[in-house]
Chain A
Amino acid sequence: MKILGISAHYHDSAAALIVDGVPVAAVQQERLSRHKHDAGFPLEAIEWCLEHAGLATADLDAVVFYERSMLKLERILTCSLRAFPRSWRSFPHAIRNSLGEKAWVRGIIASYLGVPRRRILFTGHHASHAAAAFLTAPTRRAAILTADGVGEWATLTVGRAERGAGGATSIVLDREIRFPHSLGMLYSTFTAYLGFHVNDGEYKVMGLAAYGRPTLCDAVRKVIHRTSDGGFALVPEYFEYHTGASRSFSDAFVDLFGPARHPYDPIDLETDDGRRFADCAASVQRVLEDTLLDIARDLRRQTGLGDLCFGGGVALNGVANARLLAESGFERLFVPPAPGDAGCAIGAALYADRIYFKNRDRDVPDHPFTGPSVDADELARVARDDGQQVEALDDDVLLDRVAGDLAAGRVVGWMDGASEFGPRALGHRSILAAPHAAAMRDRLNRDIKSREEFRPFAPVVRAEDAERYFELPPGGLRLARFMSGVFPVRPEWRARLAAVTHVDGSARVQALEAPMAPRLHALLGAYGERTGVPVLLNTSFNVAGEPIVNRAVEGYSTFRRCGIDALVAGPTLVTKRAGTPPRSMREVYA
């Protein structure tokens, strides 16, 4: 069967194609449209998936949308009604917003793709998250936990899933926490309060948390209560996201935590306000972790299962994931490479295949490289046109050269094969650098990524070397496969891994097995031979505010306008010349 999964209309639209039960293509719309977090209908992503598989829309057996759009509309209307008359300002906006494309998904898909309406199916939002987490994980039986801002009504669900002996699959979600009570919205509210963009800046809150102390946990627990049945409830007086469209926190929230940070104010940790913001971040992070942990422990007790599959946007929180693994009682924790809404495209398609059509279970590839491949010839052509030094090298020579460049403190843009699905660069669209000196972190933040100085960078290490440098608990290697956990750097290595060691001594490490990205694995080996430490700094190949690069030409344009020294795509190595072509229009005409 050929099934197309689609997620769209809120953030991070994506398309995924599965053929005979196996994902063969998946890509986020933003990688093709070049608009970060593109929420539009993912037509380009769909076209790419179909073209990649050599299919036409007429060949599709089903198109599956990742949530039930009318149920979502019902929630939006109900919340407006419940907030009457306070919702009078947000009501017209909510109605216009929902009654555009969002409510009429079946018609939109039918008209864009020309598929019969009976072939258009829907799954629940959290069922899609659950399927993305479970059906891509190498486990037969697992407890399920999903948590995000909100789907239709659910914001957090628990259940269990199993691959039966005869190939039948079951995914049963049996309990949920409903909107407006939401761990994702709690975190997002603090994200907005701390002056970051919602659905984008949550990473920054997690990074900032390490600089603070959780001294405001009692205040955070005033806005989120634990319920007697082991769940939780947000206290509505402190929030406005369910009643208004202009901001997510209320005046009572500001009274409790102090004035919000302006997005354009730098965070200066030497000031009282800077420390307060860091403490806020640390406190909400701690409360989030504690709440998740209690729920997971309870789930472990109830199911008696050893494995937990965790999906939804909250599963991007690597610090919380590491605590879940270490303290919840589960032996293994599986977080997919795209646990957020983009991953629901794969989840919805797999859910339809296994549950709706009852197809036999199939093992799916255990890697995220399902996107468009990089074209080394395109890079060579574009770079030559621009007067850069271009070489085509054998792999051994190239890896040796790149390892030498990295050891000499140069920064390398690394493009290899198919692009990653999900928000993390896992070795196919990465910026690589030496991990040893804090100056490298500062240089990357300032000259290349243009982002806040408090934000950490992640290391990549060969899986076989990981435990030498990082304190991984049992099951930690698996969590580190897709950079889903934050673990301590061993104290004796922190000074030599200063660029990737966060202020609290931790790192969001990627433990790389050779079959997943053999060239990067070999590069780590070559770098280790030169420096004695087979660890590299690995950050996504983009600059602030832009999606990760996809095609070679996008990598090239990023390389040209920031401080990256060399660029690799397949066998092609481009080295930025001294006195490189002019960077601004006035220099062109000078």
Chain B
Amino acid sequence: MATAARTARMDRVLRPVHHWVWRDGGRRVRKLLAFAEVETDGGRDILRAAEVTPDPLLRRLYLAHAIDELHHGVLFRERGAELLRVSGNGAASLFNGNPLPGGHGLDDVSIQGEADVRLLAFLHVAEKAAAGRFAIYRDLVADDPATLAIFDEILRDEVFHMNYTYTQLARISPRTYRRQVWLARASRLWKRVIRLAAALGAVMGAAGLTVLYFVLLPPFAWVAKRASKREGAGWAPISARTESPPTSQY
């Protein structure tokens, strides 16, 4: 049974990258605020798990877990906002006034219809990975006692989460719980591959569309701009004769 946060080999290899991220004030703020969103989203997902599970004990534990995650979101958000105020870093330079990237904290896992055994295995693996990574982050913010204290508190919680998920997994699936954990690890890895492939696809797609934009669009753009000059501002009549038939998407 897992009892303490252990850092993954990959994270140990990536330690210089983590160091580069955390030593800069702006990146530190961005990271904390992004964590706030992820923890909050994760909390909501676990809350959903509490609402749909038929197991009363799990409902109670999920609820406590969700409350922890939502609390972590608040801690990260408050600290990020405080550092932002202290740094005087403006909105435009960081986020352009847009909300932070969201995404559901539990790796897009579908809570509805997910069996508790799979969810617990998934949670256990995710919490273990998070605890390992947060342990690195805690070391990297040693110069910032307030942020360090937050990581300390969250790390303690993550260890509880890691342990209860494992214990409950063993309770509800005593014969297959080890296999479930391995399946969750494999699934997590596969999702990373898919995400990487999707990201690569998106980059390639964007590059292709950008080429099309500059190669194909200029004449159409010229026509569209000329047409727009003929359009007056203010009211435009709606003609009943031009109304499309009900089956038309145009």
CB <8 Å contact, A247 and B214: no
A residues 202-259 in Cβ contact with B at 8 Å? 225, 227-233, 246-249, 254, 259
Q: What's the count of A-B pairs with C-beta under 8 Å?
A: 201
Give bound CA distance, A85 to B85, whole Å: 36
CB <8 Å contact, B213 and A71: no
Q: Within 8 Å CB of A195, what residues of B?
A: 91, 97
CB <8 Å contact, B65 and A247: no
Give bound CA distance, A164 to B64, whole Å: 59
Q: Within 8 Å CB of B101, what residues of A?
A: none
Q: Is the interface of A mostly helix, strand, loop or mixed?
A: mixed
CB <8 Å contact, B225 and A82: yes
Say if the beta carbon of A367 comes within 8 Å of chain B: no
Which residue of the partner chain B has the closest CB to A586?
B160
- With contacts A265-B81, A382-B59 taken as known, whether A197 is within 8 angstroms of B249 at the C-beta atoms is no
**Contact string against B for A residues 556-590, beta-carbon threshold 8 Å, 1 for contact and 0 otherwise:** 01001100000000000000000001111111110
Which of the residues A197, A229, A231, A585 comes within 8 Å of B65, measured between beta carbons?
A: A585
Question: Distance in Å from the Cβ of B104 to the closest Cβ of chain A?
Answer: 8
Q: Within 8 Å CB of A356, what residues of B?
A: 246
Q: Within 8 Å CB of A581, what residues of B?
A: 60
Which residue of the partner chain A has the closest CB to B61?
A588
Say if the beta carbon of B176 comes within 8 Å of chain A: no
**Contact string against A for B residues 182-224, beta-carbon threshold 8 Å, 1 for contact and 0 otherwise:** 0000000000000000000010011001100110011011011
Q: Within 8 Å CB of A247, what residues of B?
A: 96-98
Q: Within 8 Å CB of A360, what residues of B?
A: none
- With contacts A82-B224, A120-B247, A557-B50 taken as known, whether A176 is within 8 angstroms of B205 at the C-beta atoms is no
CB <8 Å contact, A85 and B235: no
Which residue of the partner chain B has the closest CB to A544?
B40
Give bound CA distance, A575 to B149, whole Å: 36
Which of the residues B51, B112, B161, B236 comes within 8 Å of A553, measured between beta carbons?
A: B51
Q: Is the interface of B mostly helix, strand, loop or mixed?
A: helix
Give bound CA distance, A265 to B87, whole Å: 12
Give bound CA distance, A588 to B220, whole Å: 65
Instruction: Pick the interface stretch among B5-13, B17-25, B137-145, B237-245.
Output: B237-245
CB <8 Å contact, B221 and A233: no
Say if the beta carbon of B44 comes within 8 Å of chain A: yes
Give bound CA distance, A349 to B209, whole Å: 37
- With contacts A82-B221, A84-B217, A264-B33 taken as known, whether A230 is within 8 angstroms of B91 at the C-beta atoms is no
Which residue of the partner chain B has the closest CB to A72?
B249
Q: What's the tally of chain B residues with a CB closer than 8 Å to chain A? A: 72
Q: What's the tally of chain A residues with a CB closer than 8 Å to chain B? A: 86
CB <8 Å contact, A265 and B85: yes
Q: Within 8 Å CB of B214, what residues of A?
A: 85, 88
Say if the beta carbon of A438 comes within 8 Å of chain B: no
- With contacts A122-B247, A177-B234, A181-B233 taken as known, whether A585 is within 8 angstroms of B161 at the C-beta atoms is yes
Give bound CA distance, A262 to B100, whole Å: 11
Which of the residues A34, A121, A557 comes within 8 Å of B63, measured between beta carbons?
A: A557
Say if the beta carbon of B92 comes within 8 Å of chain A: yes
Give bound CA distance, A468 to B54, whole Å: 49
- With contacts A197-B99, A382-B59 taken as known, whether A554 is within 8 angstroms of B51 at the C-beta atoms is yes
Give bound CA distance, A587 to B161, whole Å: 12
Question: Distance in Å from the Cβ of A504 to the closest Cβ of chain B?
Answer: 27
**Contact string against B for A residues 366-403, beta-carbon threshold 8 Å, 1 for contact and 0 otherwise:** 00000000000000001001100000000000000000
CB <8 Å contact, B66 and A561: yes
CB <8 Å contact, A230 and B235: yes
Give bound CA distance, A74 to B249, whole Å: 11
- By Cβ-Cβ distance, the 4 closest A-B pairs, closest first, are A227-B234, A233-B233, A84-B221, A231-B234
A interface with B by C-beta (< 8 Å): 33-35, 68-71, 74, 78, 80-82, 84-85, 88, 91-93, 95-96, 105-106, 118, 120-124, 154, 157, 159, 172-178, 181, 192-193, 195, 197, 225, 227-233, 246-249, 254, 259-266, 352, 356, 382, 385-386, 545-546, 551, 553-554, 557, 560-561, 581-589
Having A177-B236, A227-B234, one finds 8 other A-B pairs with CB under 8 Å, namely: A68-B250, A96-B206, A263-B99, A265-B85, A557-B66, A587-B64, A588-B64, A588-B164
